[in-house]
Amino acid sequence: MEWKDPRDIKNASVIIKTLLEMAVTDGDFDEKEVVYILKVGQNIGLDKTTLENIIRNRSTIEFNPPKSEQDRMSFLYYILFLIKVDQNISIEERQLLYKVGFKLGFNELLIKDLIQVLEDHIDRKLPPSALIEKVIKYLN
């Protein structure tokens, strides 16, 4: 599947499904996570009905990662900001992030570095350059 536009319903479904899995993996589906997922849905062009259908049918959605590095990085950023939103990065979230990161084709060391950046900024605003600096180290 080519991922040129996250507004494509298949692409949007995969993003929302993955965010939902990440949000519930620690057993605490925080209100901030719900708000964040709804905002992502809105930002990628999903109306309320479509978003509700994705949530209801998420078990039938197949994980097909984007092919381009830029799209995979955007996908990863959605996940990173989700796990930061409740100011707590659980062991379960870390484990799932490593798994999804692997499926997206990212180096485990990059994921580790990105988690460290999130932890360093867990209770304050994350400057965009902080993540970019880590990513640049691992670009092909």
Mean pLDDT of 71-83: 93
Rounded CA gap, 23 and 30, in Å? 8
CATH code, residues 9-138: 1.10.3680.10
pLDDT tens profile 78-102:
999 999 999 989 999 999 999 999 9
Does the pTM surpass 0.75? The reply is yes
Sign, Cα dihedral of 39, 14, 52, 95: negative
**83, 93 contact by CB (below 8 A):** yes
Residue 69 pLDDT class (50, 70, 90 cuts): confident
Domain ranges of the chain: 9-138
**72, 4 contact by CB (below 8 A):** no
**38, 99 contact by CB (below 8 A):** no
Which of 49, 45, 114, 109 is closest to 82 using CA atoms?
114
